[in-house]
Amino acid sequence: MKVTAEHGENQQVTLTIEVEAAELGKAVERAAKQLAGHVNIPGFRRGKAPRKIVERHVGRDALMQEAFDLIAPKAFGEALDDQKIEPVTRPDIDIITLEEGKNLVFKAVVTPRPEVRLGEYKGISVPKEEAKVTDEEVEQRLKTFQDRQSTMVDVPEGSAVENGDFTTLDFKGLVDGKPFEGGEGKDYPLQIGSGSFIPGFEDQLVGARVGEERDVSVTFPEDYHTAALAGKPAVFKCTVRSIKRKELPELDDALAKKVSKFETLDELRADVRKNMEEAAERRAENDQKTAAIDKATENVTVDIPPVMVENRVSSMIQEMAMRLEQQGMKFERYLQYANTDIQKLREQYREAAEKNVRTDLMLEEVARAENIKVEAADLDAEVAGMAAAYGATPHQVQKIIKEQGRVGDLAATVLRKKTAQFIIDNIAK
């Protein structure tokens, strides 16, 4: 077999692979036998038809394609070994010569894994932030218990709308003096200051009283999801129908008993502080770990092929679409709602995708340098974690992974996790 390599744009390599005619001849014979076993040919038992009959039945092109499919994977693998190439993309195959009696010649365009030169990854100095919890933060958390036990009450007669009030209102929107679709509402609930309406809308209702009619003038944002209204001024004729406010219980021992297992407010406060301090410590540890991985990633030198970034962008968007689907929203509907398109979305994801690829390449190279391996126990632990997360059994998860052909992906994920932990374990003390 003869192999030549030509380096092209975007770090692609074109391999020209030439296989001897004798090897192709053997593949043709094997292909004929395989096809004979797969097709029904009148007058012959399955698998017993002579080659000429098989060829006449399926066509010479189909026979030669079958032979190519038998011989090409092995030839391609040997060509990669010959050129010491580890591809990161599937090959783009172009058959040049496929004729019995002649050498098989085909081209395979691949993108090799880029060379990664590691920088510092052991003994990285990353400061750990002090996990602080202030008295103000504790008191703010205690106020959430108050809020959950609050009741809604009507404001005294004659009271005006204040920021934070819960109102119901009738409104009718006009653009250029004409009503527009979706611009009218009856008894519509709105908390003043929530920011759920067009900027400036809610502020103009402050001071209004029940039954009062008030004109609210706003301008739709330039990026408003309805293109016909984007950037246009509008007037909403509003009538406040009701005003309610939250009535909070006292923050005392009685509330502590009601919302917790504690008898006093001081006991509840101490427990809240303890939980907040533990959470702050976990965040500080996680931030330190993330910073260590980020620093190791920044320290590598690598020229990332564009196709690796684009493939990662595609994967990220696919995952996003699956999450949306699980939440009951079509991907196309999301794009419309977000006033964007697939190209803009890809551009938004590109920076994160490039960082993710760089991190993965760094972790893979560290694994090689440190001879980090994935053991069966590591895979079992990962599967068990996935099973617990999805409410399934490890056996069910293993079955799905095998059926989807993702065993290699699972092993790669576990290897990256082990390597990341190696870097974390070696943070400078």
Does pLDDT of 72 surpass 80?
Answer: yes
Over residues 27-40, mean pLDDT: 81
Written as one string, the DSSP assignment of 18-64 is EE-HHHHHHHHHHHHHHHHHHS--TTS-TT-S-HHHHHHHH-HHHHH
pLDDT of residue 43: 61
What's residue 193's pLDDT? 92
**Interval 377-381 mean pLDDT:** 92
Task: Kindly report, residue by residue over 229-287, the tens digit of the pLDDT.
Answer: 889 999 999 999 999 999 999 999 999 999 999 999 999 999 999 999 999 999 999 99
- In the three-class reduction of DSSP (H, G, I as helix; E, B as strand; rest coil), residue 241 is classed as strand
What is the arithmetic mean of pLDDT over 217-240? Answer: 90
- Exposure string over 208-238, b if 16+ CB within 10 A, otherwise e: bebeeebebebebeeeeeeeebeeeebebeb
Question: Rounded to an integer, what distance in angstroms lies between the CA atom of residue 15 and that of residue 80?
Answer: 9
Q: Hunting for tokens 């691949």 — which residue is that?
A: 110
Torsions phi, psi for 412 (to 5 deg): -65, -40
pLDDT grade for 44, boundaries at 50, 70 and 90: low
Range 86-102 average pLDDT: 93
Q: Side chain identity at 313, as an amino acid letter? A: V
| pLDDT surpasses 80 at 141 | yes
Q: Which residue type is seen at 230?
A: A
Q: Measuring CA to CA, how many Å separate 159 from each of 97, 200, 242, 307?
A: 89, 22, 10, 63
Residue 23: count of CB within 10 angstroms of its CB: 15
**Whether the predicted pLDDT of 37 surpasses 80:** no
Looking at the chain, the whole-number percentage of residues with pLDDT higher than 90 is: 73
Average pLDDT over residues 177-193: 92
Average pLDDT rounded to a whole number, residues 158-185:
92
Q: What is the three-class DSSP state of 139? A: helix
**Is 305 within 8 Å of 114 (Cβ atoms)?**
yes
Which amino acid does the sequence have at 386?
M
Confidence (pLDDT) at 369: 95
Q: What's residue 241's pLDDT?
A: 95
The tokens for 306 are 């564009």
Q: Which helix (H) or strand (E) holds 275?
A: helix 265-298
Which position has the token pair 């692979």? 17
What is the Rg, in whole angstroms, of the alpha carbon atoms belonging to the chain?
A: 33
Please give the CATH number for the structural domain made up of 306-425. Answer: 1.10.3120.10
Give me the CATH topology for the region 2-110: Alpha-Beta Plaits (3.30.70)
What confidence category does residue 134 fall into, taking pLDDT thresholds of 50, 70 and 90? Answer: very high
Coil, strand or helix: which one is 246? strand
pLDDT at 50: 73
CA proximity to 310, closest of 286, 342, 273, 281? 342
Residue 149 has pLDDT above 80, yes or no: yes
**According to the model, what pLDDT value does residue 48 have?**
65
pLDDT at 339 > cutoff 70: yes
- Lowest mean pLDDT of 39-53, 162-176, 255-269, name the range: 39-53
334-348 mean pLDDT: 89
Measured CA to CA, the distance from residue 100 to residue 30 in angstroms comes to 13
pLDDT score, position 411: 92
Closest by Cα among 240, 200, 239 to 220: 200
pLDDT of residue 337: 81
Residues 6+ apart with CB under 8 A from 348: 340
- Mean of the pLDDT values across residues 61-84? 93
Question: What is the Cα–Cα distance from 154 to 211, expressed in whole angstroms?
Answer: 14
pLDDT band of residue 34 (cuts 50, 70, 90) is: confident
Would you state the CATH architecture of domain 151-247? Roll (3.10)
Residue 183 phi/psi, 5° resolution?
-95, 10
Give which of 280, 245, 246 is closest to 143, Cα–Cα.
246
Position 191 confidence tier, pLDDT thresholds 50, 70, 90: very high
pLDDT band of 340, cuts 50, 70, 90: confident
Helical H runs in 327-375? 331-337, 342-370
pLDDT at 45: 62
**Of 368, 364, 370, whose CA–CA distance to 412 is shortest?**
364
Domain boundaries, the chain: 2-110, 151-247, 306-425
Residue 93's φ and ψ, nearest 5 degrees, are -95, 135
Lowest mean pLDDT among 36-40, 141-145, 303-307, 383-387: 36-40
How far apart (Å, rounded) are the C-alpha atoms in residues 87 and 276? 48
**Rounded to whole angstroms, what are the CA distances from 3 to 65, 70, 81, 84, 108?**
21, 18, 10, 12, 11
Q: Is 93 left (phi over 0), alpha (psi -120 to 50) or beta?
A: beta
The predicted structure's pLDDT at residue 278? 95
| Residue with more model confidence, 372 or 43 | 372
Cβ distance 22 to 100 under 8 Å?
Answer: no
